[in-house]
Structure 1
Amino acid sequence: MKKYDLVVIGAGPGGTPAAMAAAQFGKSVLLVDKRDAPGGECLFEGCIPSKVLENAANRFEIFKEMKAFHIDVDGKEQIHWEAVLEDKKQILKRRSMGALKQVERFPNLEFRQGTARFTDTHTIDVDGEKIAFDHAIIATGAAAFLPPFEGKGVKNAWTNAEVFEKTELPEEITFIGAGAISCELVQMFNKLGTKCHMLERGERILKHIDEESAMVVQEKMIREGIDVQLNVTFGKIEGEEGAFSVSYTQDGEAKVLETPYLLIATGRAANVEGLGLETVGVDFDRHGIHVDETLQTTQENIYAVGDCTVGPKFAHWATYEAGIAIHNIFAPMKHKTDMSKLSWVLFSDPQIASVGLSEADAQKQGMEVSVERYDYAVDARAQLDKAEEGFLKFVIEKKSGIIRGIQIVSEDASSLSGEASLIVANELKAMDVMKTIHPHPTLTESFGKLAQQIFFKSMMQPRR
């Protein structure tokens, strides 16, 4: 029986960097994935495909904005959907082959396509072959979770995986759920001229995100013609592609929505089925594998990272966790994950970026904070770009003066999130940010201007 120092199950943004890091330590490593190349769902069905389509939609939208800049465009703009999908295909191929070449640089790292299952705490079965290991990392990611809706139509609906494979741009589509995936996709399709509906159980979209930020996006969706229906109780979902029927009640009134296409995006479920976790005593539930702060499971030689665990489900978080897991397996000192400095970006319109704690997060922790705000309506760059919607917020711990969280709502929040991450990770105060000279006219000036605003506000307060 062949034996490895480390077996990694799943070759996405958590598993692949973990395997390569272990190989750099000189360890013998087996990386197993059901696909024939590294990348995971983020590359093949999530982050990257959605951004290819989003880029096309945003550039298509520019034609509609030309008149605001006094530019006439002759003729009727047209999107070549099949060409966009071909771009997506080529980018995915390029990135997956690039990842495979990186893996192949290490002679002590073997990549194998197959399905892995634990048979005991030091053995896995890969398509019938038994393989021994000292340590294992589970990085199998997550997939779309379909709630137990009534009706036969549920199994025929799209998820984020299928929507990127359709060769024709739909004329009309309904989204069930108003989380990150739905909000990104519904705005993308709306920009391309698709008639869009969104049905959500809650009282607003993006229920896990700072309410002020979410409401900016919700209000823009409604202004741009997206049919957003909130406080919905779902009944039966019937039909198939081309003719769906969604029954629901809203404010006590029974309603039926007929729609040719239906996409369900109501959360994620960890990919743990078939791994044999029960056999080796690794605790898990629908939300994921249970790990401690060192990413160790309930079995001491088995670790788990990324979306398959209970915790944040972001590609960059999985990569961060991969480094910590490898350190904790092979280095003498243990490191712990620190969610207080987590950053993320929602590629909505406008974009939302968040780093560290929101005001609600701080309140849950019993931390006394002040929230300071800079409005992009007064910003020079935002005015020049005619993109004045949005704001920058600092969440400041009153006791220490440290900026514990930053929220950004802006057309280009993703580009601003790097500076925000550095501020929170290094526990800077407003005075530290004020020392930075930001170029004019850029949106990054907003950090300095907000820091100045905070400083002068503090100077006006009476001394004790």
Structure 2
Amino acid sequence: MSDPYDVLIIGAGPGGYVTAIRAAQLGFRTAVVDREHLGGICLNWGCIPTKALLRSAEIFHYLQHAKEYGLSAEGVSFDTAAIVKRSRGVSGRLNGGVGMLLKKNKVDVIWGEARIEAAPKGTTPGRVAVAQTTRAEAPKGAKGPGAYAAKHIIVATGARPRVIPGIEPDKRQIWTYYEAMVPETMPKSLLVMGSGAIGIEFASFYRTMGAEVTVVELLPQILPVEDAEIAALARKRFEKQGIRILTGAKVTTVAKGQDGVTATVEADGKAQTITAEKLISAVGVVGNIENLGLEALGVTIERGLVATDGLGRTAVPGIYAIGDVAGPPMLAHKAEHEGVLCIETIKGLPTHPMDKGKIPGCTYCQPQIASVGLTEAKAKEQGFDVRVGRFPFMGNGKAIALGEPDGLIKTVFDRKTGQLLGAHMVGAEVTELIQGYVVAMQLETTEEDLMHTVFPHPTLSEMMHESVLDAYGRVIHV
């Protein structure tokens, strides 16, 4: 067994590699173990490559509507293989960048399947056995299988797609997001199970590229975590684009044929059949907790996830968990911040659990959706007397100039204190706008502060100002 590390992190996704870099900055001798790819699912099969696909779809959309901008584009078409190649290239470039960052910060990379063999006790390091992996070739310079010791072990193994019994992905006709990101050809028709961020982004991408798309959602509302008003507006836009949406509906059976799948869908006590070339299962994710040795060591597992105290600490001293495997919201930026809090706690720096109510969520469909904090309904459920402001994109000069007049920005305030409780948006570039409200909430900004903030003109951000003004009867441009 090699000399013990101060910190050994299992998983090199956004949470894992960011934690490793911060650990190195704090002077810890650090290693990170992975079995498949630096950067994790987000960089390789999630956040980043999907945005590359959606960017191709966005440009294709604009080319198809060039006349609306006084331009001419004839014979517009696309090359599926080239679109996928660009997406994979973007991921590959960033994957290499993670490796360079780890090397720059003198973090050791260990390649293989990790299992914790003993919990740390006092000053005795914990032991991690790393076995050979067949999932991917080790990056240059990585250490291989063996026994490693560490004073602190952080589990950052992420999550994988949830599988519904009887509708198991087969990589050919029933896809997860893995297969949906690398189509050999564009399907002519598609059935999407689930209308969360993953399902809606793929529905948006494939519809823009010409597929007939049906989305089936079990709950009464698409985008279930979003404000109901925002979700309803988004649904209208999706349906206008030709996406068929069934809510309060459940796929009960799926039969595979030679040319596609036939799904039985139940809604309102009635059953119907939907036939499509491909089916994407986007019904959530489950934590990667198997074969790590956690339960045998006494680590508490709740609903398939590792229980922590909000600073990454598990029930077993010296073992920590961050990111998706430690619970929702399952977002890369949450994992990164959680990892920094965890390692700074280990260092003894002053820390406190992050306020998950201030973590923004973004969906990169067309139109984009972004939010932070409480929805109007949740605020009322929690007993707040609310003031709600709204401002439509059609009242904003920049939005009209961009040819993007459809959208809404909504703000929710506590009537008594002026506290910003939540902000919710649908429309062009709202994923870039939401951070303004996140900063405001973090700084405990009130409505008065926001009303007296000067926003630049002409920008989409002016609508953020107007939404606040509207909550207090002072809106100008509607």
Normalising by the smaller structure, the TM-score range is: over 0.9
Counterpart for residue 421 of structure 2: 404
Closer, same or farther in 2 for the Cα pair 1:152/1:19, shift >3 Å?
Answer: closer
The DSSP-based 3-state class of the residue aligned with 2:14 is coil
Deviation per CA, 1:73-97: give whole Å up to 9, x if none: 3x32101111111111221111011
User: For 1:412 and 1:241, how far apart are their aligned partners in 2?
Assistant: 41
User: For 2:208 and 2:357, how far apart are their aligned partners in 1?
Assistant: 35
Q: Which amino acid aligns with 1:341?
A: K
Closer, same or farther in 2 for the Cα pair 1:176/1:450, shift >3 Å?
Answer: closer
Q: Is the 8 A contact 1:306 1:317 kept in 2?
A: yes
User: For 1:151 and 1:433, how far apart are their aligned partners in 2?
Assistant: 49
The DSSP-based 3-state class of the residue aligned with 1:395 is strand
Deviation per CA, 1:25-58: give whole Å up to 9, x if none: 11111100112x4200001110111101000001
Structure 1 position 27 matched with structure 2 position 28: yes
Counterpart for residue 68 of structure 2: 68
Q: Is the 8 A contact 1:156 1:241 kept in 2?
A: no
Given the two structures, how large is their TM-score scaled by the length of structure 1?
0.93
The gaps in structure 1 that reach 5 residues or longer are 459-464
Counterpart for residue 118 of structure 1: 116
Structure 1 position 59 matched with structure 2 position 64: no
Q: Which amino acid aligns with 1:71?
A: L
Counterpart for residue 46 of structure 2: 46
1:428 equivalent among 411, 436, 445? 445
How far has the Cα of 1:337 moved from its partner? 1.6
User: For 1:159 and 1:113, how far apart are their aligned partners in 2?
Assistant: 25
Structure 1 position 375 matched with structure 2 position 379: no
User: For 1:352 and 1:309, how far apart are their aligned partners in 2?
Assistant: 25
- How do 1:282-297 and structure 2 match up within 5 A? 282-297=299-314
Counterpart for residue 138 of structure 2: none
How far has the Cα of 1:286 moved from its partner? 4.3
Deviation per CA, 1:138-174: give whole Å up to 9, x if none: 1111111012246897995110011112222222211
The DSSP-based 3-state class of the residue aligned with 2:65 is helix
Residue-pair matches, total: 455
User: For 2:318 and 2:169, how far apart are their aligned partners in 1?
Assistant: 43
Counterpart for residue 356 of structure 1: 373
The DSSP-based 3-state class of the residue aligned with 1:135 is strand
Q: Is the 8 A contact 2:161 2:286 kept in 1?
A: yes
The DSSP-based 3-state class of the residue aligned with 1:67 is helix
Counterpart for residue 308 of structure 1: 325
Q: Is the 8 A contact 1:198 1:226 kept in 2?
A: yes
Q: Is the 8 A contact 2:173 2:261 kept in 1?
A: no
Counterpart for residue 19 of structure 2: 18
- Which shows bigger deviation, 306-315 or 441-450? 441-450
- How do 1:44-193 and structure 2 match up within 5 A? 44-73=44-73, 75-107=74-106, 109-121=107-119, 122-127=126-131, 129-149=146-166, 157-193=174-210
2:262 equivalent among 235, 239, 245? 245
The gaps in structure 2 that reach 5 residues or longer are 120-125, 132-144
Instruction: Supply the RMSD in Å over aligned alpha carbons.
Output: 2.1
Q: Is the 8 A contact 1:241 1:261 kept in 2?
A: no
Q: Is the 8 A contact 1:9 1:138 kept in 2?
A: yes
The DSSP-based 3-state class of the residue aligned with 1:299 is coil
Counterpart for residue 343 of structure 1: 360
Q: Is the 8 A contact 1:307 1:314 kept in 2?
A: yes
Counterpart for residue 462 of structure 1: none
Closer, same or farther in 2 for the Cα pair 1:40/1:384, shift >3 Å?
Answer: same
Q: Is the 8 A contact 1:151 1:236 kept in 2?
A: no
Counterpart for residue 464 of structure 2: 447
How far has the Cα of 1:287 moved from its partner? 4.5
User: For 2:403 and 2:169, how far apart are their aligned partners in 1?
Assistant: 46
Q: Which amino acid aligns with 2:87?
A: K
Q: Which amino acid aligns with 1:38?
A: L
